[in-house]
Amino acid sequence: MSLFKEMTELDKLLHEPARLAIMTALANCEAANFVFLQSLTGLSKGNLSSHLTKLEEANFVYIEKTFVGKIPNTSASLTENGAKAIGEHWKKLDEMRTSAKSWKPETEHAT
């Protein structure tokens, strides 16, 4: 498959910037709470909440709601599915970046 066709066929659910940031952050820790994800991504509460819902529906993220004293605490972590998906997604992006660096119009025509 050509490089550019591959680019257009990236998983849109994961490639959306906010969701990619959330998934990348979660891939680097065991679990993170809502406030941490919000401060890392800079998203509004509503936005972050909606993105987390989408990721949960896709079975990429597991959400756990608890209370710390009287304060609600929402914690998110990657499911096995999600960890695999984000790992593969970044691998694909890294490969594409390497290919894009060495890409020349003739190479594309030849393939």
Partner 1 sequence: MNIERRKIEYVTEIIGEFRGLPIMFFGLAMCVFSIIHYLSELDAQKRNHYGRDLTYSGTFLLVCLLFYIFAVPKIRGYYREKYGQAQRKSSLRDKLKCLFYLVPWLIAYSGGTRIDTNFALPVSVTVLFIAIFAFGLWWANQRGVSNFFLYISAVLLGLSFLPWEKIYLSITVLDDYSGRMAFYTAACYLFYGIVSFLFGAFDHWLLVKTLIPVVREGEIYESV
CB of 68 to partner 1, least distance (A): 9
- Residue 9: how many CB atoms within 10 A of its CB? 10
18 near partner 1 (CB under 8 A) = no
Pull the structure tokens for residue 99: 């290919």
Q: Is 16 helix (H, G, I), strand (E, B) or coil?
A: coil
Nearest to residue 24, comparing CAs of 111, 82, 92, 63? 82
CB of 67 to partner 1, least distance (A): 11
Alpha carbon 46 to chain centroid, angstroms: 18
CB of 111 to partner 1, least distance (A): 27
Residue list 48-107, contact with partner 1 (CB under 8 A): 49-50, 52-53, 56, 63, 65, 71-74, 90, 94
The neighbouring-strand residues paired with 74 are 65
33 near partner 1 (CB under 8 A) = yes
Out of 3, 13, 25, 96, the only residue in the binding site for partner 1 (CB under 8 A) is: 25
Residue 64 has what DSSP assignment?
E
Binding site for partner 1 (CB under 8 A): 24-25, 28-40, 42, 45-46, 49-50, 52-53, 56, 63, 65, 71-74, 90, 94
